[in-house]
C-alpha cells in the first residue's frame, strides 16, 4: 500500500499542512518519496497519525504524545509511565473543568442581571470591572 499525503489526510482526518508540520517537528517520520519527490505513506503511518490525532483531541501536548509513542514502540516495558502521563493530564483537565464551571455561573449571572437597561447599570461591565465583588479561580 502506497498512499499520497492527501489520501493519508483523508484517512486520518489530519490536514495536509498539519501532517507536514508533524514531520518537521519529528512527530511523524520522514516518509518514502516517489520519483518526483512526493511523499508516499503506508499502513504504519496511518495508524501512527490516528494515534496522534486522537491524543491531540484528548488535549495531550505534542511532547506527551512523543512519550506515548516511544512507549508504544517498546511493548515489553511496564506501562506505569503511560499511566502517569494520563493521570497528570487528568488532573489538569479537572482543574480546567472547575474553572470553566465557575466561569459559566458568573456569565449566567451577568446575563441574568443585565436587564434591558443601559451599560451604566449593566452587570456585564461591572462584574468584570469590580475586583472585590468577584473573587474566583486564580491559576
Q: Which three cell numbers stand for residue 67?
A: 512519550
What backbone torsions phi and psi does residue 12 show, to the nearest 5 degrees?
Answer: -110, -15
32 binds a second copy (CB under 8 A): no
37 binds DNA (CB under 7 A): yes
| Positions 63 through 82 that interact with DNA (CB under 7 A) | 63
Buried b (16+ CB within 10 A) or exposed e, 60-91: beeebbbbbeeeeeeeeeeeeeeeebeeebee
Question: What DSSP element (H or E) covers 32?
Answer: strand 32-33
β-pairing, 32-33 vs 39-40, is antiparallel
Separation CA 13–CA 61 (nearest Å): 18
135 binds, among a second copy, DNA, none (CB under 5 to 8 A by kind): none
Least distance to DNA, CB of residue 119, Å:
23
Minimum CB distance to a second copy smaller for 33 or for 61:
61
What is the pattern of x (binds DNA, CB under 7 A) and - over residues 3-22?
-xxxx-x-----xxxx-xx-
**Residues in touch with a second copy (CB under 8 A):** 13, 47, 50-51, 54-55, 57-59, 68, 71-72, 74-80, 82-83, 85-87, 89-90, 93-94, 96-97, 100-101, 103-104, 106-108, 110-111, 114, 116-122, 124-125, 127-129, 131, 134, 136-139
Amino acid at each position: 500500500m502506497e498512499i499520497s499525503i492527501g489520501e493519508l489526510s483523508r484517512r486520518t482526518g489530519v490536514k495536509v499542512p498539519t501532517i507536514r508540520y508533524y514531520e518537521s517537528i519529528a512527530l511523524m517520520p520522514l516518509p518514502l518519496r516517489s520519483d518526483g519527490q512526493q511523499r508516499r505513506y503506508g499502513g504504519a503511518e496511518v495508524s501512527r497519525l490516528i494515534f496522534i490525532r486522537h491524543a491531540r483531541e484528548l488535549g495531550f501536548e505534542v511532547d506527551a504524545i512523543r512519550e506515548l509513542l516511544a512507549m508504544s514502540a517498546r511493548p515489553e516495558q511496564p506501562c506505569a509511565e503511560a499511566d502517569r502521563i494520563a493521570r497528570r493530564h487528568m488532573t489538569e483537565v479537572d482543574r480546567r473543568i472547575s474553572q470553566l464551571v465557575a466561569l459559566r455561573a458568573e456569565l449566567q449571572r451577568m446575563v441574568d442581571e443585565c436587564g434591558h437597561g443601559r451599560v451604566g447599570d449593566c452587570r456585564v461591565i461591572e462584574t468584570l470591572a469590580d475586583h472585590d465583588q468577584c473573587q474566583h479561580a486564580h491559576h
